Amino acid sequence: MCGITAVLLAGADTANGVANGLLRSGEAATARDWALTASKCLTHRGPDWFGCWPGKFSRPASESQSRVAFGHTRLAVVKPETGAQPIVRTDEHGNTKTVLVVNGEIYNYKELLETYLKNYTDELRSDCEVIAMLYEELQDFEKVMNLIDGDFAFCLYDLQKDCIFVGRDRMGVDPLYIGHTAAGSLLFASEMKAIHRWCVQVDQVDPGAILTYNYNSAKGMWMEREKKLLPRYPTNRFCESPGEPFGDCTKEVLANVRNTLEASVKKRMMSDVPYGVLLSGGLDSSLISAIVCRHANDARDDGSHVYWPQVHSFSIGLKGAPDLIAAKKVADFVGTVHHEFVFTVQDGIDSLPDVIEHIETFDVTTVRASTAMFLLSRMIKAMGVKMVLSGEGADEIFGGYLYFHKAPSAEELHEETKRKIQLLNHYDVLRANKSTMAWGVEIRVPFLDQDFMSYCMNDWLAPWKMISGEDNTGRKRIEKHILREAFDTPDEPYIPEDVLWRQKEQFSDGVGYSWIDGLKDLAGEIVTDAEFALRERTYPFLTPESKEAFLYRRIFEERFGTASARHSVFTEASIACSTSTALEWDQEWKKNKDPSGLAMKEVHNGKK
């Protein structure tokens, strides 16, 4: 993953260089000036190299140089020697055809080359270059988006058609923001901080978005020609139920869940630099770690290149935290070289301003969980690791949060998982990407693979997600029961049985229960009763509901301070990570102001 910027400049903005702090002289600002300035805010995402298109030019610039520019800060993970961006492709006469800037990885690029691009003789410079090559070959941007399998956000400029294409992966694993200036310019960036100060409005580009822009010379600005949205997960490829509704989950279903996750993990091990796994000791990260170890062992045995004889795993928590204890047990079982980092409540508190600046949100649950991940990522980067695999997404797919115990029916539980998945780019996916990329560490999330989700999000699977009754072994069903059953293979166990059937901990809870108490105490000391009483006047938009939320909002406003920044944030009422819709399941939930999983006392086995 990297950091990208794209500037589609309106004519009226070219004269605003001095006003926007882009130029020292009175010269007109080109799109390149804007892209260079914006990209400086993203160097943490790409510390290995920087590139900009257009390249060097003399003033006054040509019209095309004045109104389009791409910037790229690179984190080199695949093809580090040749994969610099922006990727500029030329015709046989040396004229530029397309320019591409990408944040992400394309996991099936080799298959696409073999199937659609056999006539291309040039050596591929990057896995991402296949996007431009496919577009040139097919001349159908929507088809390209449906063919590529990966995590990505990109902008592609077809100079011959004077057309800009923008795409983001279906789940929004890689962030992308769009900003609008008052004069009509369009600015794209991997993070809001790169563009918000120039914009009257900043939003996330929708996951799965396919955007097309053409330049309107009469209006002197770029205009959206077409917008389409790909579904988060195309379920039509697995439309037939293989079993009886409300019966025991069949061996075929369990095998398909297991095999598709295995395949997802394997494709995400594509790397030319050292990588590892995040291991919290919960079910999801433990399964990912176990699968990575199995495939790494196979690769080593067949003579494939591996950086270490063993996979390295990483965990973090307060002293004595539940996650640390479970993670060490799993690491010993699956055979990783395990690294355990212990932080204090004060360590976390001291980092809060930087955490909020990097994750670009004031959502309470996200801030709580991001802090430990932010600290851990710094340690991981210090050890020379540039990519990690992690377990985000399983709770949303299988109903893993504790509040799902109160789902009134299997159908409603499944609908809630759909709602959760629609919001992932605002919460866990945002946290995972920005907390790690704050230190130049790429994160990959196998549970959000499109094939895995296409299978596991089918409506016919809903009855088997319900958390009630017993399974065919007489075991009481708990959250994510299907996933646990799929990997319950006693003859060749993936992880220890007690971890396989361990109850869910939210990451912010699992790192140590005193962490949340410490945050609440801090907010109580800093935010006065008088300030909190005036919270609606101080923050009329998304008014904080607790002193802790008030504190995070204050830090956010101090770091950003623009209307466009605050309006780019999404947050809603929640309990134990629920959507606001699920609060209707229990009227008492609406009275609760703490979103922690510990609020579900009747189903939680932990102790403060």
Are 220 and 269 in the same domain? Answer: no
323 is in an annotated binding site: no
Q: Does the residue 527 lie in any domain? A: no
Give the relative orientation of helices 364-382 and 547-559 as an angle to the nearest 10 degrees.
60
Q: Are 149 and 450 in contact (CB under 8 A)?
A: yes
The CATH number given to whatever domain includes residue 253 is: 3.40.50.620
124 is in an annotated binding site: no
Domain boundaries, position 310: 249-504
* Helix/strand/coil for 464: helix
Structural domain ending residue among the three candidates 472, 504, 536: 504
Cα–Cα dist 339/346, whole Å:
21
Q: Which residues are catalytic?
A: 2
Q: What is the pLDDT of residue 232?
A: 92
Are 221 and 270 in the same domain? Answer: no
Q: What is the pLDDT of residue 29?
A: 76
Are 255 and 198 in the same domain? Answer: no
Looking at residues 153-157, what average pLDDT do you find?
A: 98
How sure is the predictor about 304, in pLDDT bands with cuts at 50, 70 and 90? low
% of the chain exceeding 90 in pLDDT: 74
278 is in an annotated binding site: yes
Q: Does the residue 177 lie in any domain? A: yes
Question: What letter would DSSP give residue 463?
Answer: G
Structural domain ending residue among the three candidates 474, 504, 534: 504
Are 268 and 385 in the same domain? Answer: yes
Q: What is the pLDDT of residue 506?
A: 52
Q: Does the residue 590 lie in any domain? A: no
Are 109 and 200 in the same domain? Answer: yes
The CATH number given to whatever domain includes residue 157 is: 3.60.20.10
Give the least confident one: 13-27, 183-197, 517-531, 548-562. Answer: 13-27
Q: Does the residue 467 lie in any domain? A: yes
Looking at residues 562-573, what average pLDDT do you find?
A: 96
Give the relative orientation of helices 364-382 and 428-437 as an angle to the nearest 10 degrees.
30
Structural domain ending residue among the three candidates 504, 526, 550: 504
Q: Give the Cα-Cα-Cα angle 192, 269, 497 (nearest 5 degrees).
A: 105
pLDDT at 588 over 90: no
Looking at residues 404-413, what average pLDDT do you find?
A: 94
Looking at residues 185-200, what average pLDDT do you find?
A: 97
pLDDT at 246 over 60: no
Widest Cα–Cα separation across the chain:
78
Are 223 and 255 in the same domain? Answer: no
Mean pLDDT over all residues of the chain? 90
How sure is the predictor about 118, in pLDDT bands with cuts at 50, 70 and 90? confident
pLDDT at 353 over 80: yes
Q: Are 516 and 289 in contact (CB under 8 A)?
A: no
Are 206 and 270 in the same domain? Answer: no
Q: Does the residue 510 lie in any domain? A: no
Looking at residues 31-53, what average pLDDT do you find?
A: 95
Q: Does the residue 588 lie in any domain? A: no
Which H or E run contains 311? none
* Helix/strand/coil for 51: strand
How sure is the predictor about 124, in pLDDT bands with cuts at 50, 70 and 90? confident
Q: Does the residue 540 lie in any domain? A: no
How sure is the predictor about 473, in pLDDT bands with cuts at 50, 70 and 90? confident
% of the chain exceeding 70 in pLDDT: 88
pLDDT at 21 over 90: no
Looking at residues 242-267, what average pLDDT do you find?
A: 81
- Buried (b) or exposed (e) across 586-595, using 16+ Cβ within 10 A? beebeebebb
Are 264 and 217 in the same domain? Answer: no
Q: Does the residue 567 lie in any domain? A: no
Cα–Cα dist 230/574, whole Å:
27
Q: What digits encode the pLDDT tens for the residues 256-275?
A: 999 999 999 999 999 999 99
Q: What is the pLDDT of residue 60?
A: 47
Count of domains observed in the chain: 2
162 is in an annotated binding site: no
Q: What is the pLDDT of residue 64?
A: 56
How sure is the predictor about 454, in pLDDT bands with cuts at 50, 70 and 90? very high
271 is in an annotated binding site: no
Q: What is the pLDDT of residue 470?
A: 76
Are 261 and 373 in the same domain? Answer: yes
Are 257 and 337 in the same domain? Answer: yes
Give the least confident one: 234-243, 337-346, 465-474, 580-589. Answer: 234-243
Q: What is the pLDDT of residue 605?
A: 52
Are 195 and 311 in the same domain? Answer: no
Are 225 and 273 in the same domain? Answer: no
